A and B are shown apart, each in its own frame.
Chain A
Amino acid sequence: KQEVTQIPAALSVPEGENLVLNCSFTDSAIYNLQWFRQDPGKGLTSLLLIQSSQREQTSGRLNASLDKSSGRSTLYIAASQPGDSATYLCAVNNLISNTGKLIFGQGTTLQVKP
């Protein structure tokens, strides 16, 4: 059974710092992995999608990497800003499911202090 874990659960950094959020999954047989942002009480905003054949994806100050064989993904945020404060979720789509079901981690809550 696929399990997705995110470390750390919470992170507080001063503005301007570069930071890394971690996501690990137990079953490497995945179609893809997607990173989402969730603001308090709000929906999920897609940040980056990495296919199983890819190593990384970049969007602006965000870079996501995928090491499928070791069951790990990282989300790198460069030059963090207070507006980056939110919960970041990773989710994987298993090959075996074949129905599009996503399995989520519990998220990392990021606070960027001005």
Chain B
Amino acid sequence: EPEVTQTPSHQVTQMGQEVILRCVPISNHLYFYWYRQILGQKVEFLVSFYNNEISEKSEIFDDQFSVERPDGSNFTLKIRSTKLEDSAMYFCASSEDRAGNYGYTFGSGTRLTVV
């Protein structure tokens, strides 16, 4: 079964550093998403991306964050100048269509620890 692949699985970074989280969505999917889950809290939507543009972003997704599809297969989330409160599990997801008629497939996540 096709998978969404995320790398790295775990990243530790110092406060103030920049990190890039990487995702390879399912090849025939056109819609891409990032979510995060702070330990013990709900999974929260960050951003949706289609046709090389952001479709929607949450209040969390401020100027510190950016997304990119650099080469037609990878989908990245960049966090500039990380803060302690950015420590969370970050999930990438993809879908064939916007309405999710075929569901949403999530990756296994990147656990980001900011120290």
In the complex, how many angstroms separate the beta carbon of B73 from the nearest chain A beta carbon? 19
| Cross-chain contact of A100 among B43, B89, B100 (Cβ < 8 A) | B100
- Is A31 touching B99 in the complex (CB atoms < 8 A)? yes
Q: Any chain A CB within 8 A of the CB of B107? A: yes
Q: How many residues of B contact A (CB 8 A)?
A: 31
A residues adjacent to B (C-beta < 8 A): 31-32, 34, 36, 41-46, 49, 51, 89, 91, 93, 97-107
- Is A43 touching B91 in the complex (CB atoms < 8 A)? yes
What string of 1s and 0s marks CB contacts (under 8 Å) between B83-105 and chain A? 00000010101010111111111
In the complex, how many angstroms separate the beta carbon of A6 from the nearest chain B beta carbon? 10
In the complex, how many angstroms separate the beta carbon of A10 from the nearest chain B beta carbon? 12
With A49-B103, A93-B100 known as contacts, the answer to whether A103 contacts B108 (CB < 8 A) is no
Closest 7 CB pairs of A and B: A43-B108, A99-B56, A44-B106, A99-B55, A104-B43, A49-B103, A99-B48
Complexed CA–CA distance, A75 and B58 (Å): 28
With A100-B95, A101-B56 known as contacts, the answer to whether A43 contacts B109 (CB < 8 A) is yes
| Cross-chain contact of B101 among A36, A51, A102, A103 (Cβ < 8 A) | A51
